[in-house]
């Protein structure tokens, strides 16, 4: 069964003036669609064709570049759109906020650590907040479209925050200023969505 591009669930200009509409539209309709199309091509007629995206990633042969890049790209962007949903964004609070304070010292210290992961990723990749199987929180980053579900990623559970630090995610609006883009991410993140993901993984 072929994979499909998930609907954004909000308009391309919904994150203005922080994330611009043109970038959002190109990012969703060209980049993400491209990963979906290339993933479908890569798995067509293979044993992966009837597997879920999570199963493909967890069992991935890391030497299979086409599936690695495009299954990762599809999963990563799907999470990204979800946590950028502008509806009922909420604030960082509740059990997740407490766990972040406990793990990193403070919310500000967490944001600094996450920004450092995003800034130190040379070239293209992603920064993550992962919930490990034991419920602990970890910040890390991956290159290209690698994903924390892939073998050897260092995350034993699932990411609940992913930030795209490919230039295609920010160049039109922020040019080379990745730090400004990372800083702006905190203005558009939907903490309610992230919190729900955290609770589902730790209950
Ligand atoms: Mn992207």
Distance 12 CA to ligand 1 centre (A): 15
Using omega within 30 degrees of 0 as the cis cutoff, is the peptide bond preceding 17 cis?
Answer: yes
Q: What are phi and psi of 115, to 5 degrees?
A: -60, -40
100 Cα: distance to centroid of ligand 1 (angstroms)? 26
Taken in order of first residue, the domains within the chain and their CATH numbers are: 20-203 (3.55.40.20)
Q: What is the pTM of this model?
A: 0.97
Cα 163 to Cα 169: distance, rounded to the nearest angstrom:
9
**Alpha-carbon distances of 97 from 102, 105, 159, rounded to whole Å:** 9, 11, 16
Q: How far apart are CA 118 and CA 6, in angstroms?
A: 25
CA of 184 to the centre of ligand 1 (A): 16
- CA-based nearest residue to 167, from 181, 156, 188, 183: 181
Tens-digit pLDDT profile for residues 148-194: 999 998 888 999 999 999 999 999 999 999 999 999 999 999 999 99
d(CA 33, CA 41): 12
Q: What dihedral angle (degrees, nearest 10) is formed by the CA atoms of 3, 69, 74, 164?
A: -170
Q: What is the CA(161)–ligand 1 centre distance, in A?
A: 14
Q: How far is the CA of 203 from the centre of ligand 1 (A)?
A: 31
User: Would you write out the chain's pLDDT as a tens digit for each of its 203 residues?
Assistant: 699 999 999 999 999 999 999 999 999 999 999 999 999 999 999 999 999 999 999 999 999 999 999 999 999 999 999 999 999 999 999 999 999 999 999 999 999 999 999 999 999 999 999 999 999 999 999 999 999 999 998 888 999 999 999 999 999 999 999 999 999 999 999 999 999 999 999 98
């Amino acid at each position: 069964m072929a994979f499909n591009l998930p609907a954004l669930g909000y308009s391309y200009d919904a994150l203005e003036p922080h994330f611009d509409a043109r970038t959002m539209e190109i990012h969703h309709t060209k980049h993400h669609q491209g990963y979906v199309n290339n993933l479908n091509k890569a798995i067509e007629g293979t044993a992966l064709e009837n597997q879920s995206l999570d199963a493909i990633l967890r069992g991935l042969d890391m030497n299979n570049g086409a599936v690695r890049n495009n299954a990762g790209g599809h999963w990563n962007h799907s999470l990204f759109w979800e946590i950028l949903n502008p509806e009922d964004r909420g604030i960082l609070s509740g059990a997740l906020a407490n766990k972040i304070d406990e793990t990193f010292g403070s919310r500000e210290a967490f944001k600094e650590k996450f920004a450092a992961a995003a800034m130190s990723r040379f070239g293209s990749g992603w920064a993550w907040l992962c919930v490990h199987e034991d419920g602990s929180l970890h910040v890390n980053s991956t290159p290209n479209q690698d994903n924390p579900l892939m073998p050897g990623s260092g995350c034993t559970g699932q990411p609940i925050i992913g930030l795209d630090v490919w230039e295609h995610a920010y160049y039109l609006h922020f040019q080379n200023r990745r730090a400004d883009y990372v800083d702006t991410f905190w203005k558009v993140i939907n903490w309610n969505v992230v919190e729900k993901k955290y609770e589902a993984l730790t209950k």
